[in-house]
Amino acid sequence: MVVIKWISQVVVLILVVSGLLFFAAQAGSNLRAKNIETSWRFLSVKPGIQLGEGIDVNPSTGARALWVGMVNTIRVSAVGLILATILGTIIGVARLSKNWIVNKLSTTFIEIIRNVPLLVQILFWAVVIRTWSEVDFNLGPIHNWFMVSQKGIALPRIFPSTGFYQWMVVVLIGAYVGRRVYHQRETEREETGRETHALSTALGIVAVFAAVGLLIHPLFGFLGPIFTAIGDVLDAIPILVVQLLLSAAMVAAAGLWIKRFLDNLRTPAGLAKLTDDDIFRIIFAGFSALMGIVLVFVIWPGLSAWLIHSLRDFFHLLGDKFEWLRTGRPLDGERPRIVQTGRFPNFSTSGLVITKEFAALLFGVVLYTAAFIAEIVRAGILAVPKGQTEAAGALGLSRGLALRKVVLPQAMRVILPPMGNQYLNLVKNTSLAIAVGFADLVQVGQTLYNQTGRTLEVVAIWMGFYLGMSLLISVVVNFFNVRLRIVER
């Protein structure tokens, strides 16, 4: 019996691996037969395209162009996630309101938004923005502060300046001290029952550090040479050492996993008897570590060099941000301005300009996702039985305290998993940017493959990017999910 089990495991593994290899080979030969070959050369040559907006509108390589697209996607997603969460929560709570008007308004909003396709809504916003006024030299509502036109929305911008990183060091020290004081005060409150104002004290400490930091941050310029030196040291490490370290890390990870796995199986009566399945998992963990080592040394030898160079560049970059006694403001601000370079007046590069494409896409995904989040929030709050609020009230807890200590912790448990789904949807839905010509990853990718014909490669990059983003969000949401679950049971 044991032999059959083992053989079946191995046979299944071989079948799956050879199946995958077969399909890959088949696809490869089909493509070759049609004279389609995969080539990544387009990533390193100048694409000759102009992007609508982004960190670099004239990218020098294909890879750079895609990167600009990715940053744009991440930008609109990040802003969208925050706004959709806030708006959705407000509307969700409003839908539970006893005020008739508030209640009906939010219900109407949800029903309309949920039942119209997102693509239509994004196009709708693009049309709405087109009806806004043209850019001129006394554009309102508040000239040179907050301006709305059919080219987009312009706002003042605050950004890190020369002293920012030196100042941040002081602020981080302040945050650390504040954290310590906060915990100390919290413990004191719990032990003595006296109100110790933990949060306000901690925030005050951070504020004091931030203020003092404005004066003393040039002193922290001494960190600059240190970072540069670290970069130099990293650069001097031979590639072989890095490869050996990576291998050791993988062996250690596998060993740790096996140890924890065995610890979980251990009962007070001693180690339980391992089933074949358990043994297989242990072998599999070891095998994975081995494959990792093969990857580092054979399949992708460049990985180690890439890692070490990235780290070096990172520390050198950090080193440039610091300089002994370098003065300068940590933050700078600028207002939007209107300039005329061509035939028509336009926003200058100063200030934060939300382009019409970005705005249309953002309005679309935020409102759409907010409608779903509102329903999730409502469901989460309703999922907490009325008896819980009553019991908290009967104990003398104020409404706010009951909400914070009793209702929300229980509602969050219900809210979080579907909320994660909505976050994933929002990120994926930003690919509809193509409808309004916003330079997100999909739009840039499409332009790129129209010019180079490298469709397959671009699609692979798209898929990899969205998969990576989705996994990242899943990991974050799951982290909080697990934390809530541990709190509960």
Partner 1 sequence: MTGLEARADMIVCEGVKKWFGDFQALRGIDMTVEEREVVVVLGPSGSGKSTLIRCINRLEVHQEGRIIVDGVELTNDLRNIEKIRSEVGMVFQQFNLFPHLTIMDNITLAPIWVRKKPREEAETLAMELLDRVGIPEQADKYPGQLSGGQQQRVAIARALAMEPRVMLFDEPTSALDPEMIKEVLDVMKELAQTGMTMIVVTHEMGFAREVADRIIFMESGEIVEEGTPEHFFTNPTEDRTKLFLSQIL
**Calpha distance 402→95 (Å, rounded):** 20
Give yes or no for residue 385 binding partner 1 (CB under 8 A). Answer: yes
What are the residues facing 346 on neighbouring strands? 339
- Closer CB to partner 1, residue 130 or residue 404? 404
Measured CA to CA, the distance from residue 444 to residue 466 in angstroms comes to 15
Binding residue (CB under 8 A) for partner 1 from 13, 31, 395, 472: 395
Question: Closest approach of Cβ 389 to partner 1, in Å?
Answer: 9
Could you give the CA distance from residue 452 to residue 44 in angstroms, rounded to a whole number?
12
Instruction: Fill in the DSSP letter of residue 327.
Output: -
Would you say 190 or 263 has its CB closer to partner 1?
190
Question: Given the complex with partner 1, which of 129 and 414 has the nearer CB atom?
Answer: 414
In this complex, which beta carbon is closest to partner 1, that of residue 141 or of residue 387?
Answer: 387
Per CB under 8 A, which region of 47-55, 67-75, 130-138, 193-201 contacts partner 1?
Answer: 193-201
Per CB under 8 A, which region of 116-124, 169-177, 211-219, 392-400 contacts partner 1? 392-400
Judged by beta carbon, residue 177 or residue 397, the one nearer partner 1 is 397
Rg over alpha carbons for the chain, rounded to the nearest Å, is 28
Candidate residues 15, 339, 401, 467; the one interacting with partner 1 per rule CB under 8 A: 401
Shortest gap between Cβ of 191 and partner 1 (angstroms)? 6
Among 3, 101, 138, 190, binds partner 1 (CB under 8 A): 190
What are the Cα distances from residue 191, in Å, to 173, 183, 187, 195, 396?
27, 12, 6, 11, 21
Q: Does 397 bind partner 1 (CB under 8 A)?
A: yes
SS3 336: coil
Alpha carbon distance 433, 125 (integer Å): 12
Q: Which two tokens stand for residue 454?
A: 């490298």
Q: Considering the rule CB under 8 A, would residue 195 count as an interface residue with partner 1?
A: yes
Residue from 406, 435, 441, 473 in contact with partner 1 (CB under 8 A): 406
Which of 96-104, 186-194, 229-237, 374-382 is the region at the interface with partner 1 (rule: CB under 8 A)? 186-194
Instruction: Report, in Å, the least distance between residue 485 CB and partner 1.
Output: 10
Phi/psi of residue 9, nearest 5 degrees: -60, -50
Among 390, 453, 464, 478, binds partner 1 (CB under 8 A): 390
Asked if 264 and 329 touch (Cβ cutoff 8 Å), the reply is no
**C-beta of 138 vs 192, nearer to partner 1:** 192
Number of residues that bind partner 1 (CB under 8 A): 27
Compare residues 329 and 413 and give the one whose CB is closer to partner 1: 413
Count, residues in the chain: 489
For residue 385, give Cα distances in angstroms to 88, 212, 396, 457.
22, 50, 18, 52
Q: Does 482 bind partner 1 (CB under 8 A)?
A: no
The tokens describing 32, both together, are 């070759």
- The reply on whether position 387 binds partner 1 by CB under 8 A is yes
Residues 330 and 169: their CA atoms lie apart, in Å, by: 11
Residue 409 binding partner 1, by CB under 8 A = yes
CA–CA gap between residue 360 and residue 353 (Å, rounded):
13
d(CA 171, CA 161): 15
d(CA 78, CA 416): 18
The residue whose two tokens read 């104002």 is 197
Query: Which region among 30-38, 253-261, 397-405, 422-430 touches partner 1 (by CB under 8 A)?
Result: 397-405
Which residue of 141, 191, 264, 302 would you call a contact of partner 1, by CB under 8 A?
Answer: 191
Q: Based on CB atoms, which residue is closest to partner 1, 16 or 383?
A: 383
> SS3 of 47, please?
coil
- Number of other residues whose CB lies within 10 A of the CB of residue 465: 18
Nearer to partner 1 among residue 143 and residue 413 (C-beta): 413
State which residue, 13 or 395, has the beta carbon closest to partner 1. 395
d(CA 202, CA 185): 9
State in angstroms the smallest separation of the CB of 400 from partner 1: 11
The contact set with partner 1 (CB under 8 A) reads 190-195, 385, 387-388, 390-398, 401, 405-406, 409-410, 413, 487-489
